[in-house]
Amino acid sequence: METEKKVAWSELFFDLVLVFAVTQVSALLHHDHGWSGTGRAVIAFVPIYWVWVGNTVYSNTHDAERPLNRIALFAAGLCGLMMALALPEAFGDRGLLFAGAYFCARLLLAALAHVPGRRPTPTPAVLSVLISGPLLLAGGVLDGGARIGLWALAAAVDLAAPRLTRRNMMRLDFESGHLAERFGLFVMIALGESIVAVGAPVASAPELGAGSLTAVAVAFTLVCSLWWVYFHLAASAVRHGLETAAVRADVARQVLSYGHLSLIASVIAVAVGMAEAVAHPGQRLPLGVAALLYGGCALYLATFGYTRWHLFRSWSVTRLVAAAVTLALLPPAALLPSLGALALLTALVTVLNLTELALVRTRGGLPGGPAPTTEPAPTP
């Protein structure tokens, strides 16, 4: 019997860079809550995410514990660290550092995956070296709108790369359990960053008032509820979907590469909103902050509708309804004190989890899901 591939210690060490990078992306949103700030944060996050995805897929299809692969992963981690260091001024004086570190990370991966004696085949890493990397480098030497435009185009190229190289990606033999666990760990990193974002400002405050402590407790409950949404049912569903898919590369692209980009970005948005709410529990949230908190949560829940469709060709009705209700509650939440807005959102996600738990127990699955066999069908 074939032994299941385990996550290597070197991969977990590589993830430590992502902890810092996610923190830096959150800092960008803290600095500017508006549409322009959100757009810049997304443009900066996509290359970081793509560096992680590329190395994760390579480690999934190769032996990550080989000395050469370990060293390459450490080198990619150094590139990711440089990108994270550049993030606070990525759209200012550190643009070239950000772009150069990304280009080096992708060039390293393309070289590592290349088989000597064979012609290079189109892969996302190769497209990054040929197109998106040079676009980032060109943007790094420009300023203002020109940089933003070129970097947005580079992000679009990276997002399209898995679809454009689908034929070659289909040849990869993915290890389903390992790949599902790796992306689940990235979600865990984002959730962990949300706890840091909530706790750090309060810990450094001169006094710990009852309002702040209550807000921290409510925010932590919200993080627990978001964890439950993913890890109670969805994590096993992703693995099940990968194992049973006719074309694993398609599921990996749609559910993992794209779906988890949305999930992680939404958690970062929620973390920024929670941090602002905890910092000023008795004041109203600015509309931009409320939009990050409620809009990020709505996107997080709605993404499960997208992933469920690509896994099982059915809709996650409960989560799509909860996402719609979350958006509907945004206007009245903006009129409440921050603690009240945070408590209202926490109550909504908690009710969703209790509802789904009851449905699974009484029906053996959620509405719109595949019929259970011997066990309730996993539900993303």
Map out the domains of the chain as residue ranges.
Answer: 1-173, 174-380
Task: Judge contact between 141 and 96, C-beta under 8 A.
Answer: yes
Spatial CA neighbour of 343 closest among 216, 196, 208, 230? 216
Give me 139's structure tokens: 């943007």
For residue range 290-340, what is the model confidence (pLDDT) as tens digits? 999 999 999 999 999 999 998 888 888 999 999 999 999 999 999 999 999
Confidence at residue 117, expressed as pLDDT on a 0 to 100 scale: 58
Kindly report the number of other CB atoms within 10 A of residue 127's CB atom: 20
Q: Which residues contact 11 (CB under 8 A, 6 or more apart)?
A: 56, 59, 64, 73, 182
- Give percent of the chain with pLDDT exceeding 90: 62
Hey, what are 353's tokens?
A: 């989890």
Q: Mean pLDDT throughout 66-83?
A: 94
Closest CA to 58 of 123, 111, 109: 109
pLDDT value at position 317?
92
| 232 secondary structure, DSSP code | I
Residues 138-163: pLDDT tens digits? Answer: 999 999 899 999 999 999 999 999 88
What is the rounded CA–CA span in Å between residue 380 and residue 308? 6
What single DSSP character describes residue 378? P
Residue with tokens 């996509």: 46
Give the model's pLDDT for residue 35. Answer: 86
pTM for this predicted structure: 0.90
Side chain identity, residue 266: S
CB 227 within 8 A of CB 263: no
Q: Which of 93-102, 249-258, 365-374 has the lowest mean pLDDT?
A: 365-374
pLDDT band at 25 (very low <50, low <70, confident <90, very high): very high
Q: What is the pLDDT of residue 372?
A: 40
Per-residue tokens: 277: 């709410």
Q: Name the most confidently modeled range: 104-108, 191-195, 196-200.
A: 104-108
Q: Which residue blocks in the chain are alpha helix, DSSP H?
A: 9-31, 35-61, 67-86, 95-113, 124-127, 133-140, 144-164, 166-169, 176-203, 210-229, 235-244, 248-251, 260-279, 287-290, 296-312, 317-328, 330-333, 338-363
Beta bridge partners of 284: 337
Could you give the percent of the chain with pLDDT greater than 70? 93
Confidence label for 116 from pLDDT (cuts 50, 70 and 90): low
Q: Given this model, what pLDDT does residue 370 score?
A: 42
Higher pLDDT, 90 or 114: 90
8 Å CB contact between 51 and 83? yes
Distance from first CA to last CA of the chain, Å, rounded? 29
* Closest to 260 (Cα-Cα) out of 6, 40, 18: 18
Q: What CATH code is assigned to 174-380?
A: 1.20.1410
Confidence of residue 259 (pLDDT cuts 50, 70, 90): very high
- Residue 378 in this model has a pLDDT that exceeds 50: no
